[in-house]
A = this chain, B = another copy of it.
């Protein structure tokens, strides 16, 4: 019984035309990152599990893909723990590494490990795959690409503005329209949560608030009640969500928060002065970002027309990411673009350029061994000149070969059969115009160089 060939749920195959689109996107994003002075790094797909713990929040941690210890090591499974219902100990006994969940935590490990080789401010970008064991749904895969840019080792509001301008440039180059950057500040959220007397639960509250768009107000309030918040506190939170314009008032309740509020206002107005494109910016008091590590400005980019795709980019300021590795007071500001979501939106907005697909300049038709052998040497010479060439590998019906040429987008085919050999010529057919042209054996190379 043969297996049914199927890629796993939450993953995707990409065909040649899709890879062409993805390469176009990657090149555009990479180009913008480099214009802003970012340099690329690459880190491994898996890290020690202990590095990934305690940074994303408990719920997110359940979504980390763990790798089973290989070889003899799996024999150390702690089945007693399993039988006692202590699943975490059981898992620790059979797995010590995991696939990366984002690119920020690997970056923090990289910075701590290579601190003596790095010149700070370290401006790095990274375009790599990440994995999350999330329930697959629209715009949410288990394997996807993130494009991250971070400035590490300096705290300056210039970084925040630069990051907004960087996103502005990327979305402009990609020709994506009707997007908004929402910004907020963790210190304002802290002031608010402190004002309702729940500071000690800041992280869990923020994680629940982050679900607002996904699950709605009622469910969020119910989750917050489960955290132990009382009716007065829940009432204040509902008021805050219903009237986000009250942000300034909350901010005034603490010096730090008010400073943060003024910083946001100033960033917004500087961005509006500098940007020449149509990316909107908006201070959004209900924006929280679920990850534990943010400490300053946070941001998210969304599409008005397609909010169901989720955020296209997100990021923020963090102050202690490398603390886990004993490297204190390293502030960073980073953004992360959701590659597959941007791809979905580009498809919807039909903004992929025409010329990104790989065309084959010429294909030699196969009339059998004696005739095709004449072509093989020329083929190699054409390729040395940078011309993309295909040879049909078998002597099958000509109509079949021509159908194939059309299906893969060949621009010209070359006929070299018995008649052509007798006259020592090649017949070249332009597959777009349909025009034919015959030429001597020595002319073919120059012809294709001339029309390249």
Contact = CB atoms under 8 A, between A and B. Distances in A.
A156 interface: yes
Interface stretch (A37-45, A207-215, A296-304, A435-443): A37-45
A265 to B, nearest CB: 16
Interface string A355-393: 000101001000000001000110010011011111111
A50 interface: yes
Interface string A1-39: 011111110011111101110110000000000111101
A274 interface: yes
A408 B156 contact: no
A137 interface: no
Given A7-B47, A47-B7, A79 B71 contact: no
B159 A393 contact: yes
Contact of A91 (B74, B363, B380): B74
A324 interface: yes
Main secondary structure of the interface of A (DSSP, over half): mixed
A404 interface: yes
Contact of A42 (B14, B71, B90): B14
Contact of A376 (B22, B23, B117, B161): B161
B44 A151 contact: no
A113 interface: yes
Copies of this chain, complex-wide, total 2
Given A83-B79, A117-B15, A68 B94 contact: yes
Interface centre among A91, A158, A325 (most CB of B within 10 A): A158
Contacts of A133: 70-71
A283 to B, nearest CB: 20
Contacts of A387: 35
Contacts of A270: 376
A415 interface: no
A83 B83 CA distance: 12
A270 B143 CA distance: 44
Interface in A407-450: 407-408
Interface centre among A79, A131, A384, A393 (most CB of B within 10 A): A393
B407 A162 contact: no
Interface of A: 2-8, 11-16, 18-20, 22-23, 34-37, 39-48, 50-51, 62-63, 65-68, 70-71, 74-75, 77, 79, 82-83, 87, 90-91, 94-95, 97, 99, 109-110, 112-114, 117, 119-121, 123-124, 129, 131, 133, 143, 151, 154-156, 158-159, 161-162, 165, 169, 270, 273-276, 323-326, 358, 360, 363, 372, 376-377, 380, 383-384, 386-394, 404, 407-408
